[in-house]
Structure 1
Amino acid sequence: MEMRDLRSGHRILTVEGSRHVFSEVQTFLHREPYKNTTYLTLTTEQGNQMTMTGNHLLFASTNNQSTGMEARSASSVKKGDYIFSTKSCPLGLCPERVVQISFSTKQGLYVPLTDAGTLVVDGMFASCYSFIQHDLAHLFMVLFRSFPWILEPWQQDGFSPILSSLQYLGTVIFPTSVLRLG
């Protein structure tokens, strides 16, 4: 399913432990179908690609072990790093080495928020968050996961001023090490 077709209530693939599971999309943190955005595409040795903004978090490692996996901004991933795939992986996640990084401008910006706080994008494991460490963001978003109607006015198109205010507040309160993920 294309991100532009995704709606609240849809169930999408993620990974919990070593199992492929489905998690419900509760709301959108961003849903701006007409916004031109710079994306980066990570291409792996297997030829698989993952496309997302540079600020978005994905799970990556400098080695091919999932025990070394951490949520990092996509822009911090380098050639030779590993990202984690569900493609051709019957259980959990399989590491794939990044061999190419490219940039493009595309129309549309979509950031779904799932119950799990994670999702599979282009077959690769990613966080629902950007801007702040995954675990901290997941904790702060419990309100919106539990009461998604708070963001309902911005479900079709837009970015909530509530989230914009929270992002600004985060830059004032948190040290750079919590905000910069790469």
Structure 2
Amino acid sequence: MSGEKIIRSPALSVAVPDGNFVNTVFKDSEKWMMKNAIECSESGVTYTYSELLDQIKKWSGFLKSLNLDHHDSVTIVSSNCLQYVPIFFGTISSGTPVILLNPHLSPNEMRRLILNIESKFIVFSREFEDSILLALKEDISKYKLFCIGNPLKLKAQNVDDILYGKEFMKIFTPSSGYR
């Protein structure tokens, strides 16, 4: 025994395909363009592969319009929601690193992590707006903020306007966390 304290998984290694992650995930999606890709269990709203890929392209194009450089990253602070998927894949497909923060961290933990990763672009679910406000405090003006839903307290751009257009009407009564 060499004193090595490395825990190794008993599972076999899996070959990871080379190439673009988003292209790999959606490589056969042409076959399923009119099939449901994701569904919200709360509202029953579904998006087909065609709709999802369109939203991914919209978010990716939006990020590219911001002229982000290779030092920039997008931090996502959100629970699972329909917008999470196009934001995540759209960010990756734009070539921008994405940082996923657990939305249940304390504001102090969020602040420490956001400062350490130096992300200037933060996407958050409205249900975590208070945590973002407390985490960023007096530094809030240094960040470009995007809210999933209409922000109540922070000056943030509504992600729904980017993904669906400003004329987007909610077709269901959102959960209390989304309002």
TM-score, structure 2 length as denominator? Answer: 0.23
Instruction: Flag the structure with higher strand content.
Output: 1
Q: Which structure would you say has the larger RCO, counting Cα contacts within 8 Å and 6 or more residues apart?
A: 1
TM-score, normalization by structure 1: 0.23
